[in-house]
Structure 1
Amino acid sequence: MDLFTTAHPFTTGVDISSDEFWSKPFDERDKAFARLRAEAPVSWHPPVSYPAPHGEQGFWAVTRAADITTVSMDSETFQSRNGFTLDPIGASAAGGSFFLAMDPPEHSRYRSLVSAAFTPKQIKKIDDRIAANAHLIVDDLIGAGEVDFVEACSSRLPMETVSDIVGVPASERKRVAQAAENLFGAGEAHRMAPEEAVNLKMEEAIYLYSLAKDLAAHRRANPADDLLTNLVQAEIDGHGLTDDDIGAFMLLMATAGNDTTKQTTSHTMLSLAAHPEQRDWLMKDFDGRIMGAIEEFVRHATPVMTFTRTASRDVELNGAQIAAGDKVAMFYCSGNRDESVFDNAAAFDLSRPRFPRHVAFGGGGTHFCLGNGVAKVQLRSIIGELLRRLPDITFGTPVAMKSNFVNGIESLPAHVG
């Protein structure tokens, strides 16, 4: 069957828009993406299901790694200011997304301000805290018996890291973790009716935003030797971050900076359990092999599956005629299984060459993941602690999260002796 009709052609026989499609397992969904990669690498689809009225007509699906990189690198043509999610909520969600929904030069200025706060001294402090927190998390797991691995392990380190970065006091950390789960993870909102979930997520976003804004105001008045002080004092060309900016940054960190590392941890431990030969290979020279292995952890898990842009002008992409104003969706979950780039792309192979690069941190360009370094330190620390100290941990059947954005595991039964 021909995948196209005429003009703004909707695909036929390839469903990547329905709730039913996003309820399927990752490997089953990739069969649809594999067909698109082969027959229609850039194709038009109806909008995904959404519980509120909207005016979106559809989106272009970009499914090959090379085209994802093209879109990522051209921020002038493919812009972020109108939203970055597959859901048809557009710019209405931009307020809490900080520089994810900005374009250069504004994006470049804010990104530089945040980067300037991460001095070598502060990075060393963060790395040390990550290692210490990972050790404590595994301390709590030893002898725990039956646990939900997501709750007892995977979800803990990312939120401790975010809280350390933004200076969240101990009294608020449990509440911050709960809010982050409801926003992006498998918290209470995930089990609500869509309309109720939207309202709860808005309340949680306001809480995180307000907390960080208050913390920033306190640090302006009471500076200390910490990263939050660096953030509120950072200045480039006379511009600095406002307290509102810090609030938005917290919201970004608590969502994107949390769930990505959490999901990669869960997926990686499942993959290592299913492929003991890969685990054995890694443990023969953990320190020498772990950083390359992390690239495969992230590629194979692809914790963030999609990001979108909006075309600022008429443009051709791999034969598709994209009009100004059209939504363009980059499917990282497809690009990381691109047969033309990765040999045996579905395989979990820790010795896989680091080049060509995966697109799990984005396809390059101005929006390449700012937190990728912190994510790698977290993965090195927690996976190392788990493999060295809990070699006999076993897992049950994971419960997958239904999402068109995060490749999520809602819960994962585990037995720890």
Structure 2
Amino acid sequence: MDSAFDFNPMKGRDRENPFAFYAEARERPVAFSPSIGAFMVSRYADLQTVLADPATYSSRAALPTSYGASPEVDEALRRGKVPETPMVVNDDGPDHAWTRRVLDAAFTATRVRSLLPTMRVRAAELAANLSPDGADLVAEYAAPFVRTIVDAALGLSDADPAQIQTWSDAQVVSFNPLASLEARVEAAHQLGEYTTYLQTLIDERRRHRRDDMVSDLIHGSDGLPGLSDDRVHSIIRGVRVAGFDTTRDAITMVVLTLLQHPEAHARVMADPAHNVARLMQEVLRWEAPHRGLFRLVTRDTQLGGTDLPAGSVLLLLFGSGNRDEKMFPDPDRLDLDRANAHKHLAFGSGLHVCPGEPVARAEIRVAVETLLTARPGLHLAPEYTPSYIASYFVAWSAWMSSGKPHRAD
């Protein structure tokens, strides 16, 4: 085991641009990262092997749990009555199958279509309000747009969106095993407040059903019975995180990538209705907004030339698999005509493929098409260089800007 071959997405090169590391990792057997405490799975074929075999590679470790970080964190969570129910992404077997059926029923094509008018109105409103002198497309466009849509889909539109976001951010901190004890204790207190809010919402929806996901989870849909309150809590918290961060990042990366590639920019602007979809598909591969999730090895096995004893933890590097030259020729080139771009792993694959994929795709397309139509002269501010948040497992490409990086004229 080569302990010098390490990966730490929280700092340095691995934070700002991990693709050089990914390329080196794909040339090696599956390797262990001391910083993460997990084996890194970087090749497309190996990733698909793991995703297709949930019996050998359990999802129980997909996300770190909020409980178990420390006695102080656990005490704060218990005082706040935060349920210990695992996120659906951590479920295996019958538990996952049942919950997933109810969740999929809540993400129907009808619901996606019902959200389109809200998407178009909100995107147009935000695009119109961008200053021609400079705008931050994360803070002023992508984030408020996605926040509006995910809250509308769930049924949280009556709440204070800033407060919901604070609680959702606390959920992300609670997942991060590299966060400080102080930060995780504060996040636990925030999750207690979130639990109180969600229980009040659940009780109200139990009495008065609405056309939203919370109601479907409580009452059931398509002939399926509803879920327990604790399970509803975990799904809402999980969907609110997954539905916000990754979609916000995907929108901003599609725009950034377009503005950094003049030929693609000209082609898309000549025919946005046809080419935005091609651009979105290729950017989801080229700049995956989802770093990956963990898996737990349930039996002694071998993967990618490495023996893995039962109990080993894996980190699935979807961003690396999407740049695997054996699957995607010339992977570092943006190619709007790439025939197999749709085989990317931005939404995962197999049993745990993202249930919100149809909503996310609709959000990205509406947000990008609306922005390009409303602001055809959009360009990067001179000498602007993007910086990237420290992220343990969600998105390395969350484009956090400083100042005013875009001209909207």
Q: TM-score range by the shorter chain?
A: 0.7 to 0.9
User: Unaligned regions of 5+ residues in structure 1, if any?
Assistant: 1-8, 49-57
Greater alpha carbon shift after TM alignment, 392-401 vs 268-277: 392-401
In structure 2, relative to structure 1, the CA distance for the partners of 1:278 and 1:208 (3 Å cut) is: farther
Secondary structure class of the residue paired with 1:375? helix
Residue 411 (structure 1) aligns with: 401
TM-score (norm 2): 0.86
Per-residue CA deviation, residues 370-407 of structure 1 (Å, 9 max, x unaligned), is 11111100000000011111122233322311123221
Residue equivalent to 1:149: 137
SS in 2 for 1:133: helix
Work out whether 1:79 is the aligned partner of 2:67. no
1:313/1:324 contact within 8 Å kept: yes
Q: Distance in 1 between matches of 2:313 and 2:225?
A: 32
Q: What is the Cα deviation at residue 138 of structure 1?
A: 1.2
- Secondary structure (helix, strand or coil) at the match of 1:351 reads coil
Structure 1 residues 295 and 201, CA, compared in 2 at 3 Å: closer, same or farther?
A: farther
Q: Does residue 140 of structure 1 match 2:119?
A: no
Change in Cα spacing, 1:134 to 1:18, as seen in structure 2 (3 Å) is closer
Counterpart-to-counterpart distance in 2, 1:238 and 1:24 = 43
Structure-1 residue corresponding to 2:373: 388
Change (3 A) 1:379 1:20: closer
After superposition, the Cα gap between the structure-2 partners of 1:97 and 1:415, relative to the gap in structure 1 and judged at 3 Å, is farther
Q: CA deviation at 1:211?
A: 2.5
Quick check: 1:273 aligned with 2:259?
yes
Counterpart residue number, 2:152: 164
C-alpha separation in 2, matches of 1:356 and 1:259: 21
Determine if the alignment matches structure 1 residue 115 to structure 2 residue 104: yes
The one of 25, 28, 53 equivalent to 2:16 is 25
The alpha-carbon deviation at position 317 of structure 1 amounts to 1.3
Residue 118 of structure 2, aligned match among 114, 119, 129: 129
Name the CA distance, whole Å, in 1 between partners of 2:229 and 2:132.
41
| Partners of 2:242 and 2:151 in 1: CA distance | 14
Distance 2:290 2:141 in 1: 20
Q: 2:161 aligns with which of 169, 173, 180?
A: 173
> Which of 223, 226, 231 is matched with 1:245 structurally?
231
What SS does the corresponding residue of 2:331 show, helix, strand or coil? coil
Question: For residues 377 and 365 of structure 1, do their structure 2 counterparts lie closer, same or farther at Cα, with a shift above 3 Å needed?
Answer: same
Computed over aligned residues only, the root mean square deviation of the Cα atoms, in angstroms, reads: 3.0
Please state if 1:376 is matched with 2:361.
yes
SS at match of 1:306: coil
Provide the rounded CA distance (Å) in 2 between the counterparts of 1:249 and 1:393: 37
CA distance in 1: counterparts of 2:35 and 2:320, whole angstroms: 18
The answer to whether structure 1 residue 402 and structure 2 residue 393 are counterparts is no
The match for 2:243 is 257
| Partner Cα separation in structure 2 for residue 343 and residue 86 of structure 1 | 37
* Matched residue type, 1:101: N
Determine if contact 1:214/1:243 at 8 Å carries over to the other structure.
Answer: no
Per the alignment, in what secondary structure is the counterpart of residue 294 of structure 2? strand
Once residues 95 and 394 of structure 1 are traced to their aligned partners in structure 2, the CA distance between those partners, rounded to angstroms, is 46
Structure 1 stretch 201-210 or stretch 168-177: which is displaced more? 201-210
1:377 alignment partner AA: A
- Shifted more, 117-126 versus 386-395: the winner is 117-126
Cα separation, 1, equivalents of 2:329 and 2:65: 28
1:359 and 1:295, CA in 2 relative to 1: closer, same or farther beyond 3 A? same
* Counterpart Cα distance in 1 of 2:365 and 2:86: 27
Post-superposition shift, 1:47?
3.9
The residue that corresponds to 1:326 in the other structure is 312
Q: Which runs of 5+ in 2 are unaligned?
A: 78-82
More displaced 10-residue stretch of structure 1: 107-116 or 91-100: 91-100
Aligned residues: 390
SS of residue matched to 1:146:
coil
Q: Which amino acid aligns with 1:107?
A: H
Provide Cα deviations, 1:296-336, integer angstroms capped at 9, x if missing partner. 12112211112110011111112211111100111112111
Distance in 2 separating the partners of 1:120 and 1:381: 16
TM-score, with structure 1 as normaliser: 0.84
8 Å Cα contact 1:235/1:241 also seen in 2? no
The one-letter code sitting in structure 1 at the alignment partner of 2:116 is D
Instruction: Name the residue aligned to 1:6.
Output: none
Counterparts of 2:86 and 2:268, CA distance in 1: 36
Whether the aligned pair in 1 keeps the contact of 2:67 and 2:84 (CA below 8 Å) is no
CA separation in 1, counterparts of 2:296 and 2:25? 21
> What secondary structure does 1:344 align onto?
coil
Range 126-135 or range 236-245, more displaced: 236-245
Alignment partner of 1:365 is 2:345: no
Kept in 2, the 8 Å contact 1:308–1:327? The answer is yes
Local SS of the residue matching 1:155:
helix
Alignment partners' CA distance in 2, 1:392 and 1:128: 25
Q: For 2:10 and 2:151, how far apart are their aligned partners in 1?
A: 33
Letter in 1 for 2:266: D
- The answer to whether the 8 Å contact 1:299/1:360 transfers is yes
Deviation string 1:79-129 (CA, Å, 9 cap, x unpaired) is: 112343599979999947520110122111101001122344323212332
In the TM superposition, residue 351 of structure 1 has moved relative to its aligned partner by 2.1
Q: Cα distance 1:218–1:59, how it changes in 2: closer, same or farther (>3 A)?
A: same
Deviation, 1:147, is 2.9
Q: 1:243 to 1:409 in 2, by over 3 A?
A: same
In the TM superposition, residue 237 of structure 1 has moved relative to its aligned partner by 8.0
1:212 to 198, 215, 219: 198
Aligned counterpart in structure 2 of residue 294 of structure 1, from 255, 272, 280: 280
